Structure 1
Amino acid sequence: MAYRRTLKIGVTLTLIDLAGFVALLLWGVHMVQTGVQRSLGARLRGILGAALRNRFKAFLAGLGVTAVLQSSTATGLMTAGFVGEGLVALVPALAVMLGANVGTTLIVQLLSFNISAVAPVLVLIGVVLFRRADAGLRDFGRVMIGLGLILLALHQFIDLLHPLTGSSLVREVMAQLSGQLVFVALIGAVLAWAAHSSVAIVLLAMSLAGQGVMPVETAFALVLGANLGAAINPVVEGTAGASPEGRRLPLGNLFNRIFGVVVALAVFPYAAALVTGFAHDPARAVADYHTAFNLVLALAFFPWLKAYARLLERLLPARPQAADPGRSLYLDSLARETPVIALGGATREALRMADALEAMLVGLKAAFEKADKRGIGELRRTDDVLDRLNRAIKAYVTSLDPEASNADDHRRIAQILTFATNLEQAGDVVDKGLLALIAKGLKRDLIFTAADRAELVALTDRLIANLRTAGSLFVSGDERGARLLMREKEAFRDIEAAATAAHFAQLRGATTQTVETSALYVDALRDLKRLNAHLVEAAAYPILEASGELLSSRLKAEA
């Protein structure tokens, strides 16, 4: 009884150690990916976008970008964004994914060599850079720490597996699995899907095969499954609610993987014998098999990409649908793991809010000119669009992984939230203030004088110009433009003060209708001033505050 209890405790502790080292391996891979994305993400996106002119350059760009990012999912995400925006055709996008799948094998090749001795040095250098360097080198330090953790995890994992090589139970289990290649491949697919990383699963297969715990042929099947599982996440997470055009690339990559795995299983005995004959070390053989699978599959599909793209377009034809202005277009769920991409999409969505608010102001101008109720209902529905987009942007940017965001990302998140919130509040001023005033005046037969109407129309034109300036400042961050927009706040304040003084001057001897019309005009000016204040706060305030040019208070300092 005591022996059984001791055995159970020993097995439990071993399993906990195994799980801990696997978690350390996954975390190391995550640190490498996030470090590279923070330091080079925008640059790599630019390189990838510039290369998407033909499939040859696209293939090489996909290979190179993924070799640096060590995430085919991130590369596919950037490419899918280009495809979804209509900036690139499907053929070069598919070529990028073929290159990306080959690019993920390069770090596996590097780690197949016995370089675990440099792991402490990598961690030491990474920690020094992370704690003492500037933002760019700090992210590079994160990459070094991640590589060190990967090597440490693999080394400890191998040491833990060593006693298992002589276990008869382990050998029996592995012997049973060696005849169930399809089952092993499915296990690899599930593990890669759950870990969001084919690299980690391939590294585990290398360790198991290298220590003799798993036959090399079984490790090959696990590698096939890992390649399949890595293509599942973009489909599961990125195609829900997406247009047919947006689903073509992830589904095309998945079909490519499925085809490759089926063919590889069909010729498995011949391919396995060829690779093991070429590489005698089991771990090296697993790395070579992983590279060979992706390279052969890329070479096989590359000449047929045009025909494959046409097939995908037939399977997923574009369907005409009524555009919903309140539905977000650029808030990609997969981009949450890559803040530099996610914030770009959120910025584009916030600019859509500026377009919607401009449409409201154009309609408001027409309402001032014509003084009728037609179109007021449509303008109020536009305010609902602003509310929906604002909610979507807030939910999206607040869901970003804070660990994957640097200081610049957090600043940009604050700017996006400030811009979107103020535009939504400006829309409320139009809806609940100005449009309500126009409806109230029409109900009471209060008509603005020609001079008042001309002034309101001119101020609305001025607001439209200020809104466009705010949108430009939101993108450019120009301090001179922010100062110009800031002066508009003073101008509207002076206009309102002058109109209020004129209104009180008219009160003596004026008719009731004249007084009510004048009061309505002053209320309209007050709301236009409030609307302009939201535009200034949306774009000018964040820029001037960041540069230290904004006073904390308008109160005169005490003597």
Structure 2
Amino acid sequence: MSGSVFFLHMAGAVALLLWATRMVRTGVERAYGNILRQKLRKTLGNPVLAALTGMALAVALQSSTAVTLLVGSFAGLGIVTGLAGILAVRGAEVGSALVVKILSFDLTLLVPICLLVGTFIFLATERRQWRQMGRILVGIGLLILSLDMMGEASAPLRESTIVPLIVEYLSNDSITAFLLAAVVTYLFHSSIAAVLLLTTFAAQGIVSPELGIVMVLGVNLGSSFIAPMLTRGAPPAYRIVPQGNLLMRGAGSIVVLIIVVFFAPPLDMLGSTPENRIIHAHIVFNLLILFAGIPLSGLVLRATEALVALQTDASNQEVDGAAAVAETSALDDSALANPPQALANVTREAVKMCESIEYMLQRILELYEDADSRSIKAFAALDDEVDRRHAAIKLYLARITRNEMTEDMAKRCQDLLGVSVKLEQVGDILVRNMLPHVKKKMDRRVEFTDEGWRELSNFHAAVLANARLAFNLLVTQDPDTARELVKEKDDLREVEKETSQRHFERLRQGTEQSVETSSLHLDTIRDLKQINSLLATLAYPVLEERGLLSESRLKRL
């Protein structure tokens, strides 16, 4: 096999691995994301439970980075402490290492089973949760298949005359091997993929256990950079947990590398085969960092806070400029004479409105759980920003219409006006309807039943997912997305009926908590349904333009 053919096969296998991992993660997030977030919030107060929950989440999401970003957002919002967040991430890293171990077993038989069952479930039902379960199973099948593909692609390398020279060089230059693994992992954005690639090479006899362990340490360094880089533009509080993980895991990988290079500890205890030694070294390293992190977490937190504060101080001279950028509108007056460019500017401004609404919609349910006067006031201030952009868009569109426009441009102008109106209405519902529910719940000090809260959370998660579809549609104008959005509106109507029936059943049974929170429960469902209906109307212009919308209903294909 030529070098180019090898790289093509290996690149395809790695691409399938990354795609399959993403399929599993997004399927879990869509089907069970809200439940997982609730469990995480409840357990982060206990250091041991925080680590165990982080571990379980990493296994479920197939990504310690996803857990790091999630926990970092909780810390940024003040839902959890930075200390608990750092411990949860430590557990997540161990969970990610355990995923590699699970995937190292011979799971070939699961490939046809997962693909067959997953595809059947996905095609046989329209229920969101079941379809996501099918997506997860297909993702697992493709993930295992990608490992077989990597093994087959790498087999001819044993006969190569060049590869031994490269491996020999890396074996004699631990620093280069360490840094190369770190860079590759960062490019993959997945430590799981990087370690599995290493174990594949080790199983073929291409990479020795000694070199593999050095590169595994590099994998851990590269992986620890991903979350900090993704949050580098976030407020300081959001960066504490990712940078704390970088400080602990990154420094730990360098310390262990020094020990491995200078003391060459025996590897027999790590397993009898090269691939097992690499996998077990990965697990042992993360366990060591976890156990070291428990007593050192306070020190790491203080060091991280000092580091983030230093970064903030260093950028103080740019604060005014950054604030100006945040306030800068895309509505450039100089583009008014060019209607296509002006309409593109309006689209950009509408996207900013979407971002604000998405954050508000995501944040509102968190306020139901934990709110105070300061957070309520801050939430209400977000609507002022939405109103300001809405007013600016209306005035800008009115000024565009003074110029000659084609029929398509005039229609796009009207559609964008409708979008801004709908987004402003969603903001009003969140602040004028749902925020008073938060205040009422806080003043009365009542709590939903476990079942009632689960229903609200699932309903909210469905609306949030549909909102993201609507916001994407603003940019893509994709008819398939538009059809899905309208269909989800109909599905959510049935979910609302089922939820209301279950709520009234609890009332008939005389559940005290259900009686106390009945109006809050029903009003919240009603408001969320109204928000979903408003956002679903963003699909109508796209469908109408392509002749897919009848006068009152979506046409059947």
Give me the TM-score of the superposition, normalised by structure 2.
Answer: 0.61
CA contact (8 A) 1:239 1:246 kept: no
1:384 lines up with 2:348 in the alignment: no
Q: 1:44 to 1:307 in 2, by over 3 A?
A: same
1:12 lines up with 2:4 in the alignment: yes
* Aligned mates of 1:201, 1:92 — CA distance in 2: 28
Aligned residue identity for 1:174? V
Q: 1:299 to 1:545 in 2, by over 3 A?
A: closer
Aligned residue identity for 2:119? V
Equivalences for residues 311-390 of structure 1 within 5 A: 311-317=303-309, 345-347=359-361, 355-356=380-381, 384=388
Q: Partner residue of 1:469?
A: 433
* Aligned mates of 1:251, 1:53 — CA distance in 2: 20
1:163 lines up with 2:156 in the alignment: yes
Once the two structures are TM-superposed, the CA of residue 466 in structure 1 deviates from its matched residue by 11
SS in 1 for 2:138: helix
The correspondence for 1:120, drawn from 112, 130, 136, is: 112
Q: Partner residue of 2:520?
A: none
Q: Partner residue of 2:139?
A: 146
* Cα RMSD after superposing both structures: 4.3
* Paired residue total: 391
Q: Partner residue of 1:109?
A: 101
CA offsets per residue over residues 197-246 of structure 1, 9 Å max, x none?
11001000000001101112222222212212222122112121x33222
* Aligned mates of 1:93, 1:24 — CA distance in 2: 31
CA contact (8 A) 2:25 2:61 kept: yes
Q: 1:292 to 1:271 in 2, by over 3 A?
A: farther
* Aligned mates of 1:72, 1:466 — CA distance in 2: 32
Q: 1:424 to 1:122 in 2, by over 3 A?
A: closer
SS in 2 for 1:280: coil
The correspondence for 1:287, drawn from 259, 279, 287, is: 279
Once the two structures are TM-superposed, the CA of residue 44 in structure 1 deviates from its matched residue by 0.6
Shifted more, 123-132 versus 112-121: the winner is 112-121
Q: Partner residue of 2:87?
A: 95
Once the two structures are TM-superposed, the CA of residue 171 in structure 1 deviates from its matched residue by 1.6
CA offsets per residue over residues 226-285 of structure 1, 9 Å max, x none?
212222122112121x33222221111111122111111111158864444430111111
* Aligned mates of 1:422, 1:105 — CA distance in 2: 45
Shifted more, 87-96 versus 261-270: the winner is 261-270
1:254 lines up with 2:246 in the alignment: yes
* Aligned mates of 1:159, 1:255 — CA distance in 2: 38
* Aligned mates of 1:275, 1:388 — CA distance in 2: 66
Equivalences for residues 405-420 of structure 1 within 5 A: none
Equivalences for residues 527-542 of structure 1 within 5 A: 540=530
* Aligned mates of 1:273, 1:420 — CA distance in 2: 64
Q: Partner residue of 1:175?
A: 168
1:81 lines up with 2:73 in the alignment: yes
Q: Partner residue of 1:137?
A: 130
Structure 1 residue runs of 5 or longer lacking an equivalent are 1-6, 329-340, 360-380, 391-416, 428-463, 483-535, 547-551, 555-559
Once the two structures are TM-superposed, the CA of residue 172 in structure 1 deviates from its matched residue by 2.0
Once the two structures are TM-superposed, the CA of residue 313 in structure 1 deviates from its matched residue by 2.3
Aligned residue identity for 1:55? P
1:297 lines up with 2:261 in the alignment: no
CA contact (8 A) 1:128 1:141 kept: yes
Aligned residue identity for 2:110? V
Aligned residue identity for 1:287? I
CA offsets per residue over residues 64-89 of structure 1, 9 Å max, x none?
11111111121112111111112221
* Aligned mates of 2:96, 2:426 — CA distance in 1: 48
Identity of aligned residues (%): 30
Aligned residue identity for 2:301? A
Q: Partner residue of 1:510?
A: none
Q: 1:14 to 1:138 in 2, by over 3 A?
A: same
Q: 1:126 to 1:426 in 2, by over 3 A?
A: closer
Q: 1:346 to 1:208 in 2, by over 3 A?
A: farther
* Aligned mates of 1:306, 1:246 — CA distance in 2: 17
* Aligned mates of 2:535, 2:393 — CA distance in 1: 26
Once the two structures are TM-superposed, the CA of residue 358 in structure 1 deviates from its matched residue by 8.0
CA contact (8 A) 1:52 1:58 kept: yes
Give me the TM-score of the superposition, normalised by structure 1.
Answer: 0.61
Once the two structures are TM-superposed, the CA of residue 295 in structure 1 deviates from its matched residue by 0.5
* Aligned mates of 1:173, 1:270 — CA distance in 2: 22
CA contact (8 A) 1:353 1:389 kept: no
* Aligned mates of 2:382, 2:113 — CA distance in 1: 55
Q: Partner residue of 2:504?
A: none
1:44 lines up with 2:36 in the alignment: yes
Q: Partner residue of 2:481?
A: none
Once the two structures are TM-superposed, the CA of residue 352 in structure 1 deviates from its matched residue by 8.4
CA contact (8 A) 1:231 1:254 kept: yes
* Aligned mates of 2:101, 2:116 — CA distance in 1: 24
CA offsets per residue over residues 328-375 of structure 1, 9 Å max, x none?
9xxxxxxxxxxxx9986341579989835987xxxxxxxxxxxxxxxx
Once the two structures are TM-superposed, the CA of residue 137 in structure 1 deviates from its matched residue by 2.3
* Aligned mates of 2:325, 2:393 — CA distance in 1: 6
Q: Partner residue of 1:60?
A: 52
SS in 2 for 1:137: helix
Q: 1:537 to 1:96 in 2, by over 3 A?
A: closer
Q: 1:71 to 1:86 in 2, by over 3 A?
A: same
Q: Partner residue of 1:448?
A: none
CA contact (8 A) 2:20 2:143 kept: yes
Give the number of the structure whose alpha-carbon radius of gyration is greater.
Answer: 1
Aligned residue identity for 1:355? A
Aligned residue identity for 2:165? E
